């Protein structure tokens, strides 16, 4: 029998008892290459202890890698959220957009009031008035269509 504790040969059950784990755990470490078998079902205690330490050191390293990956993922998430927030600050609320459209339409109507008076010809006045009225009818329809698209979010069919 060896005098050095590291060289002592133990069975799977003894190795499991030594590290307070199951036989299955020991076999898993053997299959994973952490513990070398001295002979079938027999191990040196020093190799059992070294294998268990190596296994847990690898687990700690995996945890660090996972934490690093998680931190990187969280950083990407924060960056995306910051970009979305920046873009959102450049967007105009729907009601403000509708209000601007109404103001522009009103401004055009105000500018064109009395436009037909540029001529003394009554026939030309009626033609101009009809054309201006047609422009504002079409403009109102397009503004209503655009307003509905803004309210429903269907901007592809806006104009």
Note whether 70 and 110 are same-domain residues: no
Angle subtended by helix axes 122-152 and 94-112, to nearest 10:
180
Cα–Cα distance for residue pair 59/31, rounded to 1 Å: 16
The verdict on residue 23 lying in a domain is: yes
- Arithmetic mean of pLDDT, 38-57: 89
* Mean pLDDT value across residues 41-58: 90
146 close to 101: Cβ distance less than 8 angstroms: yes
Which residues does 95 contact at the CB level (< 8 Å), separation at least 6? none
> In the predicted model, what is the mean pLDDT of residues 18-29?
90
- Find how far residue 26's CA is from the centre of its chain: 42
74 & 124 share domain: no
Our count of domains for the chain comes to 2
SS3 10: strand
What pLDDT sits at residue 42?
92
Domain boundary among 28, 57, 80: 80
Contact status, residue 48 vs residue 76, Cβ threshold 8 Å: no
**25 neighbors 16 (Cβ within 8 angstroms):** yes
Q: What is the pLDDT of residue 158?
A: 62
Is 86 within a domain?
A: no
Full residue range of the structural domain in which residue 37 is found = 5-80
Q: How far apart are CA 50 and CA 44, in angstroms?
A: 10
Q: Point out the domain boundary residue: 46, 80, 114.
A: 80
Same domain, 75 and 13: yes
Our CA angle for 121, 126, 127, nearest 5°, is: 95
In a domain, 55, yes or no: yes
- State pLDDT tens for residues 92-148: 777 888 888 888 888 888 887 777 777 888 888 888 888 888 988 898 888 888 888
Residues 134 and 111 in one domain: yes
Once rounded to an integer, what is the mean pLDDT over residues 33-46?
89
Between 12 and 149, residue with greater pLDDT: 12
pLDDT at 13 over 90: yes
Domain-located, residue 87: no
What was the pLDDT predicted at 151?
78
Is 104 in the same domain as 141? yes
């Amino acid at each position: 029998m060896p005098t050095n504790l590291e060289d002592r040969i133990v069975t799977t059950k003894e190795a499991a008892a030594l590290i307070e784990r199951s036989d299955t755990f020991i076999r898993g470490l053997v299959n994973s290459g952490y513990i070398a078998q001295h002979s079938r079902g027999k191990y040196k205690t020093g190799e059992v202890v070294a294998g268990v330490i190596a296994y847990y050191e690898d687990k700690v390293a995996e945890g660090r890698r996972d934490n690093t990956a998680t931190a990187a993922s969280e950083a990407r998430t924060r960056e995306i959220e910051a970009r979305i927030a920046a873009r959102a600050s450049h967007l105009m609320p729907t009601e403000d957009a509708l209000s601007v459209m109404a103001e522009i339409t009103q401004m055009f109507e105000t500018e064109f009031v009395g436009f037909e008076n540029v001529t003394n010809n009554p026939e030309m006045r009626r033609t101009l008035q009809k054309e201006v009225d047609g422009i504002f009818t079409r403009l109102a329809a397009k503004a209503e269509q655009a307003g509905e698209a803004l309210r429903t979010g269907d901007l592809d069919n806006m104009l």
